[in-house]
Amino acid sequence: MLQEICQAGELVLRRQARELTPEEIISAPVKELIASMFETMRAAPGVGLAAPQIGIPMQIAVIEDPQEFIDKLPAEHAAARLRTGVAPHVVINPRITIEDPEMVEFFEGCLSLSGFTAIVPRALAVRVDCLNERAEPTVIHARGWYARILQHEIDDLHGTLYIDRMLSRSFMGRENFERLWKDVPVAEFRKLVGDV
């Protein structure tokens, strides 16, 4: 069932979500919630959705970066972002560790800040220790765009939105980004706009 996506200003997006017990994870209501989250994320469309974004303060995120999304990008954009397809999966009670502290900067958006984007520095590679939808321990090693998605969604579980990490002078409406900047490399954008 499609859920309404909470927008910035709603308190649930700024609070720490609670962890789930293994018993909760395998329960029918949580299974239904996860199915609903995938449906809502895909309809938006997006590549990740955290439970607080639909008003549920639990540490659950769903992630999927379909190859068809990547195929619509210019090849050089996908290569620069180290973006490859990511199969649908669930991340519950995640703990994130930076594996490669090199910071990379790209424009990022969020379903809870509909219509906006900004440059956000993120670590190049991360490790995530979490539980899956069967309450099984899972370790994820991610690099590039997948690492960015994980960092973004895990932030969402802890009350942090990308605007808390963005380069503030890069913040803009999505329409202007698509019209003016989508094909401009971040380094060039920074030179043109000045100190972001």
pLDDT in tens, 40-57: 999 999 999 999 999 999
Contact 82, 105 (CB under 8 A): no
Question: What is the per-residue pLDDT across 136-195, written as a single tens digit (0 to 9) for each?
Answer: 999 999 999 999 999 999 999 999 999 999 999 999 999 999 999 999 999 999 999 986
Q: Average the pLDDT over 24-28 and give the result.
A: 98
Q: What architecture is the 11-98+127-163 domain classified under in CATH?
A: Alpha-Beta Complex (3.90)
Catalytic residue selected from 32, 153, 175, 178: 153
Would you call 154 helix, strand, or coil by DSSP? Answer: helix
Model confidence, pTM: 0.96
- For this structure, is 68 an active site residue? no
Instruction: Give me the residue spans of the domains in the chain.
Output: 11-98+127-163
pLDDT reported for residue 194: 80
Question: What is the per-residue pLDDT across 102-131, written as a single tens digit (0 to 9) for each?
Answer: 999 999 999 999 999 999 999 999 999 999
Contact 160, 128 (CB under 8 A): no
